[in-house]
Chain A
Amino acid sequence: MDSDDDFMSGMSSDEDDVLQDESDNDDGSVDDFGFDEPEPDLGFSQKDVVQKKKSFDVNFKVYHPEDIQAQQDDLINEVNMILDIRKEDAAILLRHFRWNKERLIEDYMDRPKKVLEDAGLGPNVAGPPKLEVIPGFMCDICCEDEPGLQSFAMKCGHRYCVNCYRQYLNQKIKEEGEAARIQCPQDGCKRIMDAKSLDLLVESDLQQRYHELLMRTFVEDKEYLKWCPAPDCQNAIECGIKKKDLDKVVPTVTCDCKHRFCFGCILADHQPAPCDLVKKWLKKCADDSETANWISANTKECPKCNSTIEKNGGCNHMTCRKCKHEFCWMCMGLWSEHGTSWYNCNRFEEKSGSEARDAQAKSRVSLERYLHYYNRYANHEQSAKLDKDIYQKTEKKMIQLQTASGMSWIEVQYLNSASQALQICRQTLKWTYAFAFYLARNNLTAMFEDNQKDLEMAVEALSEMFEKPVQELADPKLKVEIMDKTSYCTKRRLILLADTADNLANGVWSWSISF
């Protein structure tokens, strides 16, 4: 589909930068992201910028915690120099202005007093923060008044004992996850706790948490930065795709920790389905989970001899152990009929109108239709897990085989590639079924289903080879076949994604519901 021209026509200029064609996208400068403000040069070499290669790829960059810290420090130093204010105050002001440096400087030049007041930096009394013992002092929080009680007050003068301050900060930071906007405990006082005072008052573990949270505000305040949602991952991803673009593009990014996720909604990779569709689909699945649950069970009966068959690999080509009947796990149809032009396992055949005359019949048809797609969606999800198990089992055997056959670690890596291709292709296939569920039937849909079928057949074929016993896997011929099939699967996936993404960008899909 040659669509670059129409693709661009509907976009304003700053989005062109984001969705631009690869041909004019070789310089890797950060300006490509269409930022509102120039970013400091962080010394990223060109290889760090993950360049868009396919029409469905988006530009993005991975930031490690030290990069995020450096970005903040640069901004703080800049404001510190331009406005000639303390670094702590510059940090508070920047956070107050949600890290929009230009607006801060502009507003500060106009009305410095008001800006300071609003950010909780009211009238300035000189001197660093310190703990004091004030004779006759009684703390308004705990009502303690013993002599020698250490107390603290920020520049607003509201004084509390150190113990209460600690409890208060602990509550705010640990329980409420607050950092950038912790106010003085006094009712109605807008004075903001600064990092220096905080460090004076609390232990190092709380200080650390506080600084982590402060760093989070930087990422959370920027529309083009998001945290990697993988557990224990501390990286952030930068991507220029904006919320309003999400009906045109599925911005999928890969963190350095290998987690692939959607920058738009933070869910795991859901290409080719756009975010809104995914949200609708997940909600539908949750609402209908009881009707659908029995479907995704792991055991079925052989359609010929009725003996129970358990699925323990990702492949859908089932062979009954008892009667040797070969059938498709998904549709229970004859496997030999799969791949012929008239057979469609992936397509839901709409029943003719005459069959669905009454409301009950209609609702049955609509449930059947949903189950058709849900079934396949859930099956690919499950199969991806099973493929992974197979790989892990195989990996162990491969290690044994390496010692026995003299194959090197490098020489068995094709299995790893095959496993990864299976995972990622099944992830895509899974979402093609949610996608297809919401598609209205037309020529484009037929093309989509053909692409889906091609990918699915390739994946099932690879999955089947992949499940072969280790002895057979060691055969060089099978190795070549697996490697070929792996790259074929990858190719089919890219074709499907490119085609879907182009149509999405052009807004030419027609949906059975409105989003």
Chain B
Amino acid sequence: MATGFATKRLSKELSKIHGNLPPGITLVSAEGFQEWLLDIQVLDSNPLYMNQTYRLKFKFSPSYPIEPPEVTFVSSPDRPIPMHPHIYSNGIICLDLLGQQGWSPVQNVESVCMSLQSMLTGNTKNERPEGDANFVANNRRRPRDIDFYYHDNTV
């Protein structure tokens, strides 16, 4: 259970977030301080993501924000997994800012959402990461335990 450290920070984030998120980002649920759901949309007219809404799941450990949150896309009938060379079809995201090396504790839920939003905005490739099928079939590890080789972050 998230206690002390994470709770205080997350309640501050929550009070700041309420009704005050940048365009294209909506808070879906924030029950407790372990798991939040947010929806994001790509605002420009990128044909890959037009008229689509994607759902993000944030999982926080008790030592958030010292440790990065676990962030994945989750799918449902009206919430597909966005097509992107750094997003696996099971929703796992390969992004250095979410790894231990790239994470900074001054990042927050909002800034992560914005980073992901802009990652989608800038993408033109209608493709999955290399080895997607194999990874999705075989991976049993949690995203934080996977040693991603971070592709160049400009994509």
Contacts and interface: CB of A to CB of B under 8 A. Distances in A.
Interface string B8-30: 11001100000000000000000
Identify the interface centre among B65, B67, B106, B107: most chain A CB within 10 Å of its CB: B106
Given A171-B66, A171-B67, A142 B106 contact: no
B63 interface: yes
B150 interface: no
A141 B8 contact: no
Interface stretch (A13-21, A80-88, A185-193): A185-193
B105 interface: yes
Contacts of B63: 167, 171
Contacts of B12: 143
A168 interface: yes
A140 B65 CA distance: 10
Contacts of A164: 66, 105
Contacts of A355: none
Nearest to A158: B106
B104 interface: yes
B100 interface: yes
B5 interface: yes
Interface string A146-174: 00000000000000000010011011000
From DSSP, what is the main secondary structure of chain B's interface residues?
loop
Contacts, number: 37
Contacts of A170: 66
Contacts of B106: 140-141, 185-187
What interface size band does chain B fall in? 10 to 19
Contact of B9 (A142, A168, A175): A142
A144 interface: yes
Given A186-B104, A187-B104, A143 B8 contact: yes
B8 A168 contact: no
Nearest to A138: B12
Contacts of B100: 175-176
Interface residues of A, number: 16
Contacts of B13: 143
Nearest to A176: B100
A170 B63 CA distance: 11
Contacts of A188: 104
Contact of A187 (B8, B66, B67, B107): B107
A171 B13 CA distance: 22
Contacts of A175: 67, 100
Given A141-B9, A144-B8, A176-B100, A168 B66 contact: yes
Nearest to B104: A187
A164 B105 CA distance: 9
A143 B66 CA distance: 13
Identify the interface centre among A143, A144, A175, A188: most chain B CB within 10 Å of its CB: A143
B3 to A, nearest CB: 13
A356 B72 CA distance: 54
Given A143-B13, A167-B66, A171-B63, 5 more contacts: A141-B66, A143-B12, A144-B8, A164-B66, A187-B107
Interface of A: 140-144, 164, 167-168, 170-171, 175-176, 185-188
7 contacts: A141-B65, A142-B8, A144-B8, A164-B105, A167-B63, A167-B66, A168-B66
